[in-house]
Amino acid sequence: MKTDLIQLQVMWSRLLAVVEEQAQTLIRTAFSVSTREGGDVSAGVFDPAGRMLAQAVTGTPGHINSMAMAVPHFVKRFPLETVREGDVFFTNDPWQGTGHLHDFTFVTPAFLNGKVVAFFACTSHVVDVGGVGFSPEGKTIYHEGLRLPLMRFAEQGKVNDWLIEIVQNNVRESTQVVGDMYALASCNDNAVKSLTALMTEYRIAGLDEVRDFIFENTRKAMLDAFSSLPKTSARNSMRTDGFDKPVDLACSVTINDESIVVDFDGTSPVSDYGINCPLCYTAAYASFAVKCVVAPKVPNNSASLDMIIVKAPEGSIVNAPFPCAVAVRSVVGHLVPDVVFGCMHELLPGRAPAEGAGSLWGLKAGAGHGLTDGASSGQQTTFMMMSLHSGGMGARSSCDGLSATPFPSGVKNIPVEVTEAITPLVVWAKELRQDSGGVGEFRGGLGQTMVVGSREDAPFAILATFDRVHNAPRGRSGGGDGAKGSLRLASGKVLKPKGRQVVPAGDRVILDMPGGGGFGSPSGRSLDLIESDLRRNLISWEAAVEAYSVDRDDSGKLVRVGSATTR
């Protein structure tokens, strides 16, 4: 007997609740700051063939969409007939997981009446995997740390103690990393219990009907979204900073009746350093950009993702083959949406935002032997940490860009109190960066400035992974560019935007984060919005006069130069 359509919709909603609970369990039990405070995670439920049925709202597109491609690797490696209750699978392989060694992906089968009815998967970024640290300076995957193949974390409920010991002996922050491993396994376990309770409540033996209902309705919604789109192509390119030389990202977007194809032909070849991006991570963010513009309200699952086809020449920086260094693949991956948005703006004017900061300006720092070049002392605290922060988003055709907002990753800015509580670091300033948003009818989001030092009389290392220092986020449709970023010491030395560098004892490092590009001609910005920006010190008077041709009349009211009227 077929299940009632209303009941199927309810069960779909319940699945979404289960995976959101799964993600929140991970966040609440994790040890690392990036997971616990930043939400740098993903969680989802998959059918026995490895197709994603539902994802948690909490999480990053890079993790969620690449994890959707990772689970089929697990299903192939561990055929259903070999899987037992209590098994938990794991990998951090960049090409079979989510793009770099710092992401641990866990997959757990859900059994009902002795049969696998689903898989739950989750991913989070761990603070350290050994090697050169979370830095682009490695020149091959072998430099970047511990790489573990698809394997069992637990077998029939018994944790693999040898795996735990290997991890403990190869990472700098073993308590945090091993704690996160148990958190990942536990959140899947909770989700399995919730699913089996749901299936028992509805007296169903499998998820086949629910899966078919989800996929059929998702595909129909995507086709409806495609039906009004122009069936044509557009190209765009964007220059980014790279490591030792600039990187050109190029792509075309082609809209067909039943698919959208994103092709990165023309993009720069792989780098000698760890900014390379495996195709799984490129596809994750390219798909995200397309869905943002074309079908933002359509659920994200295998049915919708399968209709967005992402291609890239093997050996390009967005399809880096093994054994390329890929530690900070997010630097390039987070810029992928901006180059795709450029194509979407040509195809669907007004729907795509201007370029933004893109790559995170996370503070990755540490101290100890091998990090501070022998300058450390016995009194220095040894640590390794990562704190997530960001510049501004690009403006849209109808509103200003968001300031200091991580986009496209969707992670949270880490409270400075957390960083100060677990490390010797002190954040002396964290404030919006005036005049950093690109001008326009709608202003780009502002970047922020952070000043960081140590409370100890000792140096510390910063592992820089920053972009938009040499190439600004571009405005759109006449909007101005966002401000470039910079990295420097308070003593005056300009630092490189990428790589490990030592902040001397007593000095401080200053991060000026990029702003987002503006949208539309500055002449179209309303005087009310300009006045609001001035009142909140988001823009200086000098910048307002130059960009918007404004002045004060005798009563102090803001007016256009040469005009007595206001907008």
Q: pLDDT tens digits, residue range 195-226?
A: 999 999 999 999 999 999 999 999 999 999 99
- Give the pLDDT confidence score for residue 565 in this predicted structure: 39
Per-residue pLDDT band for 1 (boundaries 50, 70, 90) equals low
User: pLDDT, tens digit, for every residue of 223-245?
Assistant: 999 999 999 999 999 999 999 99
Instruction: Tell me, yes or no, whether 17 lies in a domain.
Output: yes
What are the C-alpha distances in Å from 396 to residues 303, 399, 473, 520? 28, 5, 14, 9
Q: Burial of 221 by CB count in 10 Å (0-12 exposed, 13-18 middle, 19+ buried)?
A: middle
The DSSP 8-state label assigned to residue 116 in this structure reads E
Q: Which residues contact 111 (CB under 8 A, 6 or more apart)?
A: 85, 117, 192, 196
User: Rounded to an integer, what distance in angstroms lies between the CA atom of residue 342 and that of residue 325?
Assistant: 28
What are the C-alpha distances in Å from 250 to residues 98, 235, 253, 262, 475? 22, 8, 10, 10, 18
Whether pLDDT at 500 is above 80: yes
Whether pLDDT at 374 is above 80: no
CB contact at 8 A, 122 and 23: yes
Q: Which residues of 466-479 are buried (b: 16+ CB within 10 A; e: fewer)?
A: bbbbebbbbbbbeb
Instruction: Tell me, yes or no, whether 365 lies in a domain.
Output: yes
273-282 mean pLDDT: 98
Instruction: Tell me, yes or no, whether 123 lies in a domain.
Output: yes
150-157 mean pLDDT: 97
Do 20 and 165 belong to one domain?
Answer: yes
- Give the pLDDT confidence score for residue 566 in this predicted structure: 37
Q: Could you list the residue range(s) of the whole structural domain that residue 181 is in? A: 5-219
Per-residue pLDDT band for 562 (boundaries 50, 70, 90) equals low
Say how many C-beta atoms besides its own lie within 10 A of residue 545's C-beta.
12
Instruction: Tell me, yes or no, whether 25 lies in a domain.
Output: yes
Instruction: Tell me, yes or no, whether 332 lies in a domain.
Output: no
Q: Which residues contact 382 (CB under 8 A, 6 or more apart)?
A: 366, 367, 368, 369, 376
Radius of gyration of the chain (CA): 24
The CA-CA-CA angle for residues 135, 333, 269, to 5°, reads 85
Whether pLDDT at 329 is above 90: yes
Instruction: From 242, 214, 221, select the one nearest 12 (Cα to Cα).
Output: 214
501-521 mean pLDDT: 97
What are the C-alpha distances in Å from 203 to residues 109, 144, 197, 198? 19, 48, 10, 8
Q: What are phi and psi of 385, to 5 degrees?
A: -145, 160
Whether pLDDT at 402 is above 50: yes
Instruction: Tell me, yes or no, whether 191 lies in a domain.
Output: yes
CB contact at 8 A, 383 and 391: no
Whether pLDDT at 564 is above 50: no
- Give the pLDDT confidence score for residue 416 in this predicted structure: 94
**Percent share of the chain, pLDDT over 70:** 98
Instruction: Tell me, yes or no, whether 330 lies in a domain.
Output: no
Instruction: Tell me, yes or no, whether 127 lies in a domain.
Output: yes
The helix or strand, by DSSP H or E, that contains position 542, with its residue range, turns out to be: helix 541-548
319-322 — which CB contacts under 8 Å span 24+ positions? Answer: 319/264, 319/277, 319/278, 319/279, 319/282, 320/270, 320/276, 320/277, 320/278, 321/270, 322/94, 322/95, 322/141
Do 20 and 168 belong to one domain?
Answer: yes
Single out the residue in 219, 245, 267 at which a domain terminates.
219
- Give the pLDDT confidence score for residue 371 in this predicted structure: 86
User: Rounded to an integer, what distance in angstroms lies between the CA atom of residue 425 and that of residue 272?
Assistant: 32
Give me the amino acid identity at 75: V
CB contact at 8 A, 359 and 241: no
Q: Give the predicted TM-score (pTM) of the model.
A: 0.95
Number of domains in the chain: 2
CB contact at 8 A, 519 and 397: yes
